[in-house]
C-alpha cells in the first residue's frame, strides 16, 4: 500500500505553497473551466494566493461553493497521498499526483488531475467527468 509521503517527507511551507499554487494554476488554465470560474484571491489565513471558485447553479441561482484555499487544497493532497480517495480517482491520476508529491514539484499533474484535486476539495467526491 502506498504510504503517506506527504506526511513522511519534511515539506517547507514555501515548498507546499508553491506546489499548491502549481496545482491551482493548472486547474485554472484548463482543468476546471468547464464547470467553474476561477478568480485569484488572497487567503487571509495564510497569505497564499488561492481562488474563488464560482459554482453558481444557473438554473437555481444557488452558490454551491465559493472558496478554495491553500490549506484546503493541501489537505486534499494529504488525503490523496494517504489513499483516502483511491476509489474516486483513476489509477493514472493517482500515479501522477503521487509522483509529483514525491518529487515536490508539479510536473505530471495535468488539467485532468488538477480538476480532480479541486473537485475533491470542493465536494469530497468527483462530480463532473
Cell 463532473 found at: 128
Per-residue exposure over 34-59, b if at least 16 CB sit within 10 Å of its own CB, e if not: eebebeeeebeeeebebbebebeeee
Is residue 17's pLDDT more than 90? no
pLDDT at 128: 80
pLDDT at 117: 93
For residue 9, name the pLDDT band (cuts at 50, 70, 90).
low
The pTM of this model reads 0.79
Q: Write out pLDDT tens, residues 27-82.
A: 888 878 787 777 666 655 555 555 556 655 555 555 555 567 778 888 999 999 99
Average pLDDT over residues 80-109: 92
pLDDT at 92: 93
DSSP 24-80: HHHIIIIISTTT-EEEEEE-TTT--EEEEEE--BTTTTB-----B-HHHHHHHHHHH
Residues in a beta bridge with 40: 51
Amino acid at each position: 500500500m502506498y504510504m503517506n509521503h506527504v506526511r513522511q517527507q519534511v515539506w517547507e511551507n514555501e515548498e507546499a505553497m508553491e506546489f499548491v499554487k502549481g496545482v491551482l494554476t493548472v486547474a485554472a488554465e484548463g482543468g476546471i473551466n468547464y464547470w467553474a470560474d476561477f478568480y485569484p484571491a488572497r487567503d487571509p489565513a495564510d497569505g497564499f494566493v488561492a481562488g474563488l471558485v464560482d459554482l453558481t447553479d444557473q438554473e437555481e441561482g444557488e452558490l454551491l461553493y465559493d472558496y478554495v484555499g491553500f490549506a484546503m487544497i493541501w489537505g486534499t493532497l494529504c488525503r490523496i497521498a494517504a489513499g483516502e480517495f483511491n476509489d474516486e480517482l483513476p489509477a493514472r491520476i493517482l500515479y501522477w499526483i503521487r509522483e509529483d508529491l514525491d518529487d515536490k514539484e508539479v510536473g505530471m499533474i495535468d488539467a485532468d488531475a488538477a480538476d480532480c484535486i479541486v473537485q475533491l476539495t470542493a465536494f469530497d467526491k468527483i462530480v463532473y467527468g
